[in-house]
Amino acid sequence: MPEGVEWTQPTRRQRPRQSKLRDNLLLDFGDTFLVDSYIRELGFNKALNALGYSNPDTLWALLHFYLLSTLPNEHAEAWLEGNVARVLYPQADLSAQSVDSVLSFLGRDSVWGKFFQAYSALLQGTFGISAKAENVLIDSTGLPDSSHFRLTSIEPNQQKDDCSALRLLYAVQLQTGLPLALPYVHPVYSDGSDAAMVMDTIYALEEQGVNITAVHLLNGYYGPKDITVLYQSRVAFLLRLPKHCKLYKQLVEKHASTLISTGVFVDARPQLCMIKRVPCKLEGLDKQYSAYAYLVQDQAVKLDGNAAVLRLARSYDSDNYKSELFADLNEAGLTVLVSSKQFEPQELLALYDTRQYMDAVFALQENAYSFDPKGSRSEAMVRGHLLLTFMAAVVTSKLQELRAQLEDTSDSMLQHLRNHKCMVSGEEIATAKMPTSVARIYEAAQIKCPSVLTQSSWLEQHRSK
């Protein structure tokens, strides 16, 4: 679609969905009710409204679909039919053509600019993020294929044909896990330095007023060229070692068996970890650099992993195979990290928790993007998908605060809410009796859920915010 040309819903889609509602219609209620109310209480609706999309109902409904469903986008319309979102957003159209149009709109540079300007105001105002807050840069393993959106064709750089993946970089506030800036996407080439692209991103973020104090990276950056760039740039980093590398094997062989007796126990429920810090050397291009290695083992995962290994070992007669299985016992639940900085165990675990939260964000997108020249998806749609995923990440990060109060996972919390149904009959929406688990969630969110409400009053209330 040419730049500047606004997409408009077809006339046949303009009729309100209320006309299609039949009496005694049972719909999922609680998850959409809480998320919609929470978005407006946070003021995040201001950032959405600033985009100027011609059919805001469709945009809002699609954002809820990204937040509340793991199904591919082709199931969005079916999801809407069974959710109270069809009542709350009566003009929403989640057909395949409409979803593609939304993503194309969101992929425009001008739309990204509008959103970031509005979101920056929220960060400094409603969210209360200080300019002096500690911010970290976190990467994905390579831009994954979303269960929502399947990319089949994109050419990041027409001058190179050896692009193996796209790497997604998020700037995140350390204490809260709140995403701060729109994600940066870099193509990954076999002859380049991933770390050099990270530094380019850090400089670009500084121009936007987002100062990065550390970077938290995954396997793709462990090479002499990357290590040299990171040290010469004087940026603190935390890097997860790939299991196949020599240093990982050396550290595990020397320290894994004595981790229980020599490590530090950290109770950060639901995680119970043993952490051991040892000095190490990282290979650069022309010299070795002094660093610290951290062996982190989740004891619950270790016990589960060992139990699985023991069950598997009993099913095989080969002593050689059994010995290979038992050799893996010490590595169950084990992660090896290296850093240029000396962390205390609690500090390290807090930083790694932020990493794990962002892994959950990246899990909004699954598997690996495939580069098939026969595909038809556009780069604008990919960018639109990234922006919508970013919006979902912001809301998810705020929902984590509820999870902390409830000592529950966000997935479990949303499942409890999804089980809270409503019955639609004409203008009346009657909510089912709330289970105790659902009532606790509403109370923690400081949101009141009425037993009966009307469509017109609900719509008027939400339009006024």
Helix (H) or strand (E) holding 40: helix 30-42
pLDDT, position 457: 80
Phi, psi of 446 (to 5 degrees): 55, 45
Residue ranges covered by each domain of the chain: 129-377
pTM to 2 decimal places: 0.75
pLDDT, position 98: 94
Q: In DSSP terms, which residues pair with 295 in a beta bridge? A: 276, 336
Phi, psi of 456 (to 5 degrees): -65, -45
d(CA 87, CA 244): 53
Residue 191 CB neighbour total at 10 angstroms? 7
Domain covering 129-377 in this structure, CATH number: 3.90.350
User: Counting beta carbons within 10 angstroms of the beta carbon of residue 371, is it exposed (0 to 12), middle (13 to 18) or buried (19 or more)?
Assistant: middle
Beta strands in 229-303 (DSSP E): 236-240, 264-268, 271-283, 288-298
β-pair type (214-217, 135-139): parallel
* Angle 71-363-195 from CA coordinates, rounded to 5°: 145
Helix (H) or strand (E) holding 246: helix 246-255
Which pair of structure tokens corresponds to residue 117? 């300007």
C-alpha distances in angstroms, 346 versus 267, 268, 273, 351?
9, 8, 10, 9
pLDDT, position 154: 35
Beta strands in 19-91 (DSSP E): 25-28
Q: In DSSP terms, which residues pair with 339 in a beta bridge? A: 238, 292
Burial 75-112 (b: 16+ CB within 10 A, else e): ebbebbeebbbbbbbbbbbbeeebbbbbbbbbbbeebb
Amino acid at 421: K
| Tens-place pLDDT, residues 274-314 | 899 999 999 998 899 999 999 988 877 666 655 655 665 66
Residue 67 CB neighbour total at 10 angstroms? 21
- Can you list the residues of the chain whose pLDDT is less than 70? 1-23, 128-132, 140-167, 183-193, 218-221, 268-271, 301-330, 352-377, 404, 407-411, 462-465
| Tens-place pLDDT, residues 113-158 | 899 888 888 887 777 666 667 888 887 654 433 344 443 333 333 3
d(CA 351, CA 174): 7
pLDDT, position 76: 92
Residue 267 CB neighbour total at 10 angstroms? 9
Q: Who contacts 158 (Cβ-Cβ below 8 Å, separation ≥6)?
A: none
Report the percent of the chain where pLDDT is more than 90: 21
pLDDT, position 316: 57
pLDDT, position 81: 94
Strand order in the sheet with 421-425: 25-28, 421-425, 428-431, 452-454
pLDDT, position 149: 42
Q: Who contacts 365 (Cβ-Cβ below 8 Å, separation ≥6)?
A: 143, 144, 145, 146, 147, 148, 149, 385, 389
d(CA 273, CA 91): 50
**Dihedral over alpha carbons 332, 333, 336, 342 (to 10 degrees):** -140
C-alpha distances in angstroms, 160 versus 84, 188, 189, 190, 250?
47, 11, 8, 10, 37
pLDDT, position 157: 37
pLDDT, position 371: 26
Which pair of structure tokens corresponds to residue 270? 């639901």
Q: In DSSP terms, which residues pair with 184 in a beta bridge? A: 169
